[in-house]
Each structure stands twice: as structure tokens, then as C-alpha cells.
Amino acid sequence: GAGVSQSPSNKVTEKGKDVELRCDPISGHTALYWYRQRLGQGLEFLIYFQGNSAPDKSGLPSDRFSAERTGESVSTLTIQRTQQEDSAVYLCASSFSAALSTDTQYFGPGTRLTVL
């Protein structure tokens, strides 16, 4: 595709429910990143994939958060038993590889999650 796409663009859920957020990276990009951005804050790294494996999961806030990637393409970020503090914009980015010395990350428009 032309760019990184994310769905849904907005999600409102009730506390305790599970949510799934989807990211479609740019075709051919092997690296994929998930970030969280709370209101008025910077980006908080969650997890990244190189291909289908996740070398770095250190940013996941708790075991309620998980992510997977299949076919070196689509990734889903799942949040179980959502809490109000999970409310944020979840941003996905992709890059040609994880070699950050030369590669730019291209961001999707984000999913705004609101937990009531």
C-alpha cells in the first residue's frame, strides 16, 4: 500500500473488555513498531518486530498487552481486560529494516483508544 494503515481509527470500549488493534505496514518493510502516546505526552515504545519475531518486548506495560505479526505483514496489538489508563493513541510504524542508522520509520495515523 501507499502508507501504513491502522484500524480502527477510533475505539471506545468499556473497562474490562478486550480490544484488538490492527496495523498494515508498507509492503516490503520487514520491521514494524508499536508505540503508545498518552494525551500531551511523547511516544512510549511498546514492541517491535523484525519479520515475524519480536526481539524486543521490553516496552509492553503489563501481561495484558500482547502483539503478533504474521506473514511479515499485518500485526495486531491485543489489550486484555482494558483499564482506563490504557486510553491513548496507539501508533504503528514500519521501516525497511531495523537498521536505524539508515532507515526511517513511517507512521500510521494511529488508533485512538478510549476506555470508559
Partner 1 sequence: SQQGEEDPQALSIQEGENATMNCSYKTSINNLQWYRQNSGRGLVHLILIRSNEREKHSGRLRVTLDTSKKSSSLLITASRAADTASYFCATDGGYSTLTFGKGTMLLVSP
Which residues make up the interface to partner 1 (CB under 8 A)?
Answer: 4, 31, 33, 35, 37, 39-43, 45, 48, 50, 55-56, 59, 89, 91, 93, 98-101, 104-110
* Shortest Å, Cβ 75 to partner 1: 15
Report the DSSP beta bridge partners of residue 114.
12
35-58 burial, b at 16+ Cβ within 10 Å, e below that, comes to bbeeeeeeeeebbbbbeeebeeee
Our CB check for partner 1 shows the closer of 79 and 93 to be 93
* Shortest Å, Cβ 45 to partner 1: 5
